[in-house]
């Protein structure tokens, strides 16, 4: 098992390796249950059958096939003078080779379900876990990188399972059997030279491969770097054009490509060193053993058939070793890839349900922010002592300059982040004490920036409630004032929206977002500048429907344009994370403070806009 351990083999060459070896063993151990999956008798049978077939084929291959060959040779080279064609022997030889090779294929066919089942389970577990991790984790990571981690990790599983079971393990067993046969038939030295040459081969391969690993690593990292850059650059297609930076992007991409090229060349050249050395070791061993066999034939004691037999054994042994360098390297790589993937599974999610988390029980859907303090990073406090309530069925608006912390309030209510101090409660229940699923089911969010799935408009609206009927989807679209637009499209609800919804305008996307939230039909609504990217005409239209749907629901409206919050039950003015004013529209105006100033400024702008429109129209 020294080779499989990988780390075990490596430890001999790298004194700093023992913890790495331990990690690798742990990674291999994580895979073992998948070979014998609980409750899957069918898969257990498959594992068992493929191992049995493997054993049978190996035995046939060591104890039977080579002897048929030897005996045929002996008959032909005839110590017996009358040379008869050894028909039976030759046919038996051919037939048993067919059996052995077919058995290998049958074995692979049987086992593939087991391997694929392992891959599916692990990939699914990782995917679920990624969704369970907090928003902060995802903002810090590159999504393209994450999907590659899963991709490589699952490939690693497949490789490891296949090669561990069907290449390395059986080769080692075969080595043992052949050495035993040689020792019994021809004596000690045949066994020693054979074993010695194979061990030298393995040792050389591992040493050189370990040395080469860094070039492969460099290749891989340059490869992911190039991919990440290319994806990011293409996602920012429009931005690249706005600044005429195609050349800049190409240069950045080419830097990674050049690094990849350099590493790839060194990797290929060192592979040749490996191959040359391997050939030398193998053939020296082969020549040595054959010299001894030739000597045995000349000096009696051995037949020509024996000479051929020895040769056959060695070739048979060396054959799977041909790929040893690749296999060893890939196994190590697989172990690393799998470790990275399993490490992801070990990342603790920052926002987790408490062990005794209960379902949120919504009675009135009243929201309470109780002396909330919050920061994304220690150095900078975003919300300072924010307190307010949204009584059942009421609408509270939060207004303030960009960067004041308005969206942060919505993220906290949705529990993408936990507060640093204070508490947020819904109907008296601290949102940290209830399950995230029930909390989020109770809140409908129309975010500031809507991102859509690369699918049809219909799919994106239905996302609000997957079991909604076509009629309900149409009704939601009508309420969000987008039904008419969708119908005007050639493909209607089947129109595809493009990656991230880029084929729709900001206003259209936002209306799709409103429609799907209406479909979700939650007791609490959260609009984060939900109408900010609509023109004032459409905004008025949607304001009407928003007002209708929020009439008897608890609603938190975050707005930049004050004209949209005039009717709120309470308006909260937020400035740099502090509530500086609060009250109804009229009260705030008469107070002549911050709100009044903002209002005056926006009225002026609106007036100017209206005059401009008039002038253009005239």
Q: Would you say 66 or 447 has its CB closer to Mg ion?
A: 447
Q: Would you say 273 or 376 has its CB closer to ligand ADP?
A: 376
DSSP class of residue 434 equals: B
**Minimum distance from residue 381 beta carbon to Mg ion (Å):** 17
Q: Would you say 406 or 516 has its CB closer to ligand ADP?
A: 406
Q: Can you tell me which of 89, 165, 219, 382 binds ligand ADP, judged by CB under 6 A?
A: 382
**Minimum distance from residue 430 beta carbon to ligand ADP (Å):** 22
Main-chain phi, psi angles of 229, to 5 degrees: -65, -45
Q: Would you say 107 or 406 has its CB closer to ligand ADP?
A: 406
Q: Which of 511, 566, 502, 577 is nearest to 538 (CA)?
A: 511
Q: Would you say 29 or 139 has its CB closer to ligand ADP?
A: 139
Interaction of residue 580 with ligand ADP, rule CB under 6 A: no
Q: Would you say 159 or 416 has its CB closer to ligand ADP?
A: 416
Interaction of residue 403 with ligand ADP, rule CB under 6 A: yes
Q: List the alpha helices (DSSP H) in 449-567.
A: 457-462, 470-479, 483-488, 506-520, 536-550
Q: Would you say 523 or 577 has its CB closer to Mg ion?
A: 577
DSSP string, 232-247: HHHHTHHHHHHTT-HH
DSSP class of residue 358 equals: B
**Minimum distance from residue 378 beta carbon to ligand ADP (Å):** 11
**Minimum distance from residue 599 beta carbon to ligand ADP (Å):** 18
DSSP string, 511-524: HHHHHHHHHH--SE
Main-chain phi, psi angles of 551, to 5 degrees: -50, -50
Out of ligand ADP, Mg ion, none, what residue 382 binds, judged by CB under 5 to 8 A for its kind, is ligand ADP
CA distances from residue 437 to 85, 195, 414, 523 in whole angstroms, order as listed: 79, 61, 10, 14
Q: How far apart are CA 185 and CA 411, in angstroms?
A: 77
The residues that touch Mg ion, with contacts defined as CB under 5 A, are 407, 448
Please report, in angstroms and rounded to a whole number, the separation of the first and last CA atoms in the chain.
87
Segment contacting ligand ADP by CB under 6 A, of 298-306, 399-407, 435-443, 544-552: 399-407
Number of residues that bind ligand ADP (CB under 6 A): 11
Interaction of residue 350 with ligand ADP, rule CB under 6 A: no
Q: How far apart are CA 392 and CA 551, in angstroms?
A: 11
Q: Would you say 311 or 407 has its CB closer to Mg ion?
A: 407
Interaction of residue 452 with ligand ADP, rule CB under 6 A: no
Q: How far apart are CA 448 and CA 453, in angstroms?
A: 16
Q: How far apart are CA 332 and CA 4, in angstroms?
A: 9
Contact 393, 330 (CB under 8 A): no
Interaction of residue 29 with ligand ADP, rule CB under 6 A: no
Q: Would you say 409 or 546 has its CB closer to Mg ion?
A: 409
Interaction of residue 408 with ligand ADP, rule CB under 6 A: yes
**Minimum distance from residue 139 beta carbon to ligand ADP (Å):** 5
Contact 464, 517 (CB under 8 A): yes
Sequence-ordered strand ranges (E) for 26-107:
none
**In the window 106-145, what residues touch ligand ADP (CB under 6 A)?**
139
Q: Which of 564, 559, 573, 556 is nearest to 365 (CA)?
A: 556
Segment contacting ligand ADP by CB under 6 A, of 274-282, 364-372, 402-410, 519-527: 402-410
Give the residue nearest to ligand ADP (CB): 407
Contact 464, 516 (CB under 8 A): yes
Q: Which of 399, 402, 426 is nearest to 599 (CA)?
A: 399
Q: Would you say 447 or 464 has its CB closer to ligand ADP?
A: 447
Q: How far apart are CA 477 and CA 203, in angstroms?
A: 69
**Minimum distance from residue 519 beta carbon to ligand ADP (Å):** 25
Contact 31, 200 (CB under 8 A): no
**In the window 362-381, what residues touch ligand ADP (CB under 6 A)?**
376-377
Out of ligand ADP, Mg ion, none, what residue 531 binds, judged by CB under 5 to 8 A for its kind, is none
Contact 347, 137 (CB under 8 A): yes
**Minimum distance from residue 416 beta carbon to Mg ion (Å):** 13
Neighbours of 114 (CB within 10 A): 23
Helices 41-63 and 87-132 meet at what angle, rounded to 10? Answer: 150
Contact 218, 226 (CB under 8 A): no
Out of ligand ADP, Mg ion, none, what residue 327 binds, judged by CB under 5 to 8 A for its kind, is none
Q: Would you say 368 or 528 has its CB closer to Mg ion?
A: 528
Interaction of residue 447 with ligand ADP, rule CB under 6 A: no
Segment contacting ligand ADP by CB under 6 A, of 270-278, 305-313, 400-408, 539-547: 400-408
Interaction of residue 406 with ligand ADP, rule CB under 6 A: yes
Q: Can you tell me which of 405, 444, 458, 464 binds ligand ADP, judged by CB under 6 A?
A: 405
Binding residues (CB under 6 A) for ligand ADP: these are 139, 376-377, 382, 402-408
């Amino acid at each position: 098992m020294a080779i499989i351990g990988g780390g075990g083999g490596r430890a001999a060459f790298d004194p700093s390796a023992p913890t790495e070896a331990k990690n690798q063993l742990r990674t291999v151990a994580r895979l073992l249950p998948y070979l014998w999956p609980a409750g899957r008798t069918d898969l257990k049978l498959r594992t068992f059958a493929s191992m049995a077939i493997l054993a049978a084929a190996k035995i046939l291959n060591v104890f039977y096939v080579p002897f048929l060959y030897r005996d045929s040779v002996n008959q032909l080279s005839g110590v017996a003078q009358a040379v008869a064609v050894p028909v039976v022997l030759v046919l038996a030889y051919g037939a048993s080779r067919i059996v052995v090779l077919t058995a290998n294929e049958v074995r692979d066919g049987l086992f593939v379900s087991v391997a694929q089942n392992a891959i599916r389970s692990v990939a699914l577990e990782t995917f679920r876990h990624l969704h369970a991790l907090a928003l902060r984790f995802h903002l810090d990571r590159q999504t393209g990188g994450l999907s590659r981690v899963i991709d490589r990790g699952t490939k690693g599983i497949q490789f490891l399972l296949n090669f561990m079971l069907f290449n390395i393990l059986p080769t080692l067993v075969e080595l043992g059997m052949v050495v035993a046969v040689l020792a019994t038939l021809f004596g000690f030295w045949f066994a020693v030279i054979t074993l010695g040459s194979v061990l030298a081969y393995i040792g050389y391969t591992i040493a050189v491969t370990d040395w080469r690993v860094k070039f492969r690593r460099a290749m891989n990292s340059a490869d992911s770097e190039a991919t990440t850059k290319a994806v990011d650059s293409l996602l920012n297609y429009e931005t690249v054009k706005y600044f005429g930076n195609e050349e800049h992007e190409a240069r950045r991409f080419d830097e990674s490509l050049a690094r990849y090229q350099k590493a790839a060349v060194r990797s290929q050249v060192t592979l040749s060193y490996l191959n040359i050395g391997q050939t030398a070791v193998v053939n020296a061993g082969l020549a040595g053993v054959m010299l001894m066999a030739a000597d045995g034939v000349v000096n009696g004691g051995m037949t020509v058939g024996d000479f051929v037999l020895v040769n056959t054994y060695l070739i048979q042994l060396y054959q799977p070793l041909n790929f040893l360098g690749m296999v060893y390297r890939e196994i190590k790589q697989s172990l690393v890839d799998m470790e990275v993937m399993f490490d992801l599974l070990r990342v603790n999610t920052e926002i987790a349900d408490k062990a005794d988390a209960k379902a949120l029980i919504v009675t009135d859907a009243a929201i309470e922010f109780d002396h909330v303090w919050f920061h994304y990073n220690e150095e900078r406090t975003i919300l300072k002592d924010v307190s307010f309530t949204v009584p059942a069925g009421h609408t509270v608006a939060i207004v303030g300059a960009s960067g004041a912390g308005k969206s942060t309030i919505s993220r906290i209510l949705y529990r993408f982040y936990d507060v640093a101090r204070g508490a947020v409660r819904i109907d008296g229940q601290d949102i940290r004490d209830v399950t995230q699923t029930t909390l989020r089911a109770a809140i409908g969010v129309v975010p500031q920036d809507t991102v859509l799935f690369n699918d049809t408009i219909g799919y994106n609206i239905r996302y609000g409630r997957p079991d909604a009927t076509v009629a309900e989807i149409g009704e939601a679209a009508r309420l969000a004032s987008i039904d008419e637009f969708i119908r005007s499209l050639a493909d209607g609800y089947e129109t595809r929206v493009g990656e991230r919804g880029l084929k729709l305008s900001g206003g259209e996307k936002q209306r799709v977002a409103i429609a799907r939230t209406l479909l979700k039909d939650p007791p609490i609504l959260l609009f984060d500048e939900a109408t900010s990217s609509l023109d004032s005409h459409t905004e008025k239209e949607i304001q009407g429907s928003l007002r209708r749907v929020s009439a008897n629901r608890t609603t938190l409206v975050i707005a930049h344009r004050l004209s949209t919050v005039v009717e709120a039950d309470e308006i909260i003015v937020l400035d740099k994370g502090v509530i500086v004013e609060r009250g109804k529209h009229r009260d705030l105006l008469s107070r002549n403070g911050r709100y009044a100033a903002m209002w005056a400024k926006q009225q002026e702008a609106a007036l100017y806009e209206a005059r401009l429109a008039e002038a253009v129209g005239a």
